[in-house]
Amino acid sequence: MSNKFIIALDQGTTSSRAILFDHQGKIHSVAQKEFAQHYPKAGWVEHDADEIWSSQVSVASEAIARAQLTTKDIDSIGITNQRETTVLWNRKTGKPIHNAIVWQDRRTAEFCQNLVSNGHEETFTAKTGLRLDPYFSGTKITWILDNVKGARELAEAGDLAFGTVDSWLIWNLTGGDLHITDPTNASRTLLFNIHTGEWDQELLDILNIPASVLPVVKESSEIYGTTSGNNLGSQIPIAGIAGDQQAALFGQMCIEPGMIKSTYGTGCFMLINTGDQAITTKNNLLTTVAWKINGKTTYALEGSVFIGGAVVQWLRDELGIIKSSADIEAKAAAVKDSGDVYLVPAFAGLGAPHWDPYARGLIVGITRGTSANHICRAALESICFQVDDVLYAMKSDSEMAIPQMRVDGGATVNNLLMQLQTDILGIPVVRPQVQETTALGAAYLAGLATGFWKDIDEIQSQWAVDREFKPEMSEEDANKKRQRWLKALNRAKQWADD
C-alpha cells in the first residue's frame, strides 16, 4: 500500500478541492477551484450543481497530474462536503431541475416558523436532533417541489432524486449507478431519525416529501462502488463519505467520548464526540451523527458560531484598520489587553448557544484612548469568547470532562488568537501538524474501508502535534473577562427585533 495514494474530494461552499494523501497521512498534492455564488434575492444563496460537479472532477484530475501519477496509483476516493446544500435532479437525464439551494439560504424561514407554530418542532428535534431552521435540507426540498414546475410530478413518478452534495458527486462519479449518502449527511436533512438510523416517514409526511426521492443510507466507511470508466479514466473505489465538520472530527482523531475539535474558518464549528449516546441538548446545541463504521454509530454534539474569522475580514474590508488578515496578530499584540473594549460580532445574529437572529454587532467600552490596536485585540477575543460560550454549553450537556481542545482551520495560524483562546477556555488548545483535517478525515474513512490503513489505531499513531498552547491567565482574570463579555453580549441581543 505504501506506494499508493488516497484522493480526498473536499467539496466546500466556495471552492472544490482535491488532496492526495500518502500512507503516512501526509499531503502529496492539492488542487483547488472556486465556483460562482448566486444570490437571486435577498437571503437566497444558490450554486450551479453542474458547476460543482465539473469543478470537482477537474481538480481531482489536476491533483493526480500535479503529483505525476495516474489513476492506477489511487487506492480509493473519500468524499467530504458542505452539508445541508440541496440538489434535486431528474433520474433519467441526470440533470438538476433547479440550482442547488445552499445551507446559508434563508428562503424557507417563514415555512419553518409555521411548522414551529403548528407544534412540530418537538417532533423534529426528538427524532433528528435538529432545530426547525432554514439551515437544513428538508424545507429546501419542499420549496423546490412546490415552486419548480413539474417537480412534484417527477417525484411522484419516482423520476426525481434528492441529494446533499456527496450524493450528487457520487451519482456523477458512478455514471448514475449509485444514489447514496451516509448518516453524517442524512442527519442534517430533518428527514433522518438518528436513533433508528433510517429515513422517517412521519417527518416526510409533515414536509410533504415522497420517500422515492431519497438516497440509500450507507455507512461512512465502506466500499460503495467504483467510478465509471468515463470519470477519471479508470474504476477507482469510492469508500468514504462524511459531511465536512464530522470529517474534521475524524481527521482530528477525536475518536473517544469527550474529545472535542473546533474549526476556525469564516465561522467556528465545534463538535464533541459523545460516543454511542445521542445526547439531547438543554443548551441549544445540535445532536448529530459523527460517523457510522462497522455497524456502530457514534454521535456528537455540535455548536456553530456564525462570525469567526469573518470579523477579521470586516476589520480589513469595511473598517480598513488592517491591510491584510495576517496584520491583525501584530496589531493586537501591540497592546497588553483590549483596554476593556468588547466587540460582539453579531453581524448575522448569534448562533449557538444563543440562537438570536435579531442580535446585531456592537463595540462597547470605547474611550478617548481606544486605538485600532485595542479594537483588533477585542476582535480576536470575540472569537474566543464565542467558542467559550459553545464549550460551556457542551460541558453542561455532555457532563464530560474535557481535557483539551483540538483546533484546525485557517485562523489557527494566528498564535496570539490560540493563546487568547486557551487563556479564556482554561484548557490546553492543540494544533495538529496536518491542518487539512476535513480532507484527511475523508481519506481516513476511505482507507479504513479498503485496508489501506489496518485500523483506527494505525491512523491514530499518525496524528501529530504542531503546537500545544497552555493557559497563562489566572482563572480569576479569565472569569472577570468572561463576565464583561456576557454583559456586552446581552446588550447586543434582540437589537433588531422591532
Residues of the chain with pLDDT under 50: none
Whole-number pLDDT of residue 458: 93
The annotation status of 82 as a binding-site residue, yes or no, is: no
The annotation status of 396 as a binding-site residue, yes or no, is: no
Place of cell 415555512: 111
The annotation status of 421 as a binding-site residue, yes or no, is: no
Mean pLDDT of the chain: 93
CA distances from 129 to 280, 301, 391, 398 (A): 7, 9, 18, 14
The annotation status of 410 as a binding-site residue, yes or no, is: yes
Q: What is the largest CA-CA distance in the chain?
A: 69
Q: Which CATH superfamily is domain 5-243 in?
A: ATPase, nucleotide binding domain (3.30.420.40)
The annotation status of 15 as a binding-site residue, yes or no, is: yes
The annotation status of 494 as a binding-site residue, yes or no, is: no
Whole-number pLDDT of residue 107: 87
Strands (E), 139-236: 160-163, 180-181, 192-193, 198-199, 216-217, 221-226
The annotation status of 80 as a binding-site residue, yes or no, is: no
Q: Is the peptide bond before 353 cis (omega within 30 degrees of 0)?
A: yes
Place of cell 477579521: 312
The annotation status of 414 as a binding-site residue, yes or no, is: yes
The annotation status of 266 as a binding-site residue, yes or no, is: yes
Whole-number pLDDT of residue 435: 85
CA-nearest of 251, 249, 260, 252 to 425 is 260
- Indicate the SS3 state at residue 419: helix
Bridging pattern class, strands 405-408 and 260-264: parallel
Whole-number pLDDT of residue 357: 78
Whole-number pLDDT of residue 104: 83
Whole-number pLDDT of residue 229: 75
- Rounded CA-CA distance 300/1 in Å is 32
Whole-number pLDDT of residue 283: 92
61-84 residue pLDDT tens: 999 999 998 888 999 999 999 999
- Rounded CA-CA distance 63/60 in Å is 5
The annotation status of 137 as a binding-site residue, yes or no, is: no
382-422 residue pLDDT tens: 999 999 999 999 999 999 889 999 999 888 999 999 999 99
Whole-number pLDDT of residue 1: 55
Q: Is the pTM of this model over 0.75?
A: yes
- Rounded CA-CA distance 259/153 in Å is 46
Whole-number pLDDT of residue 2: 65
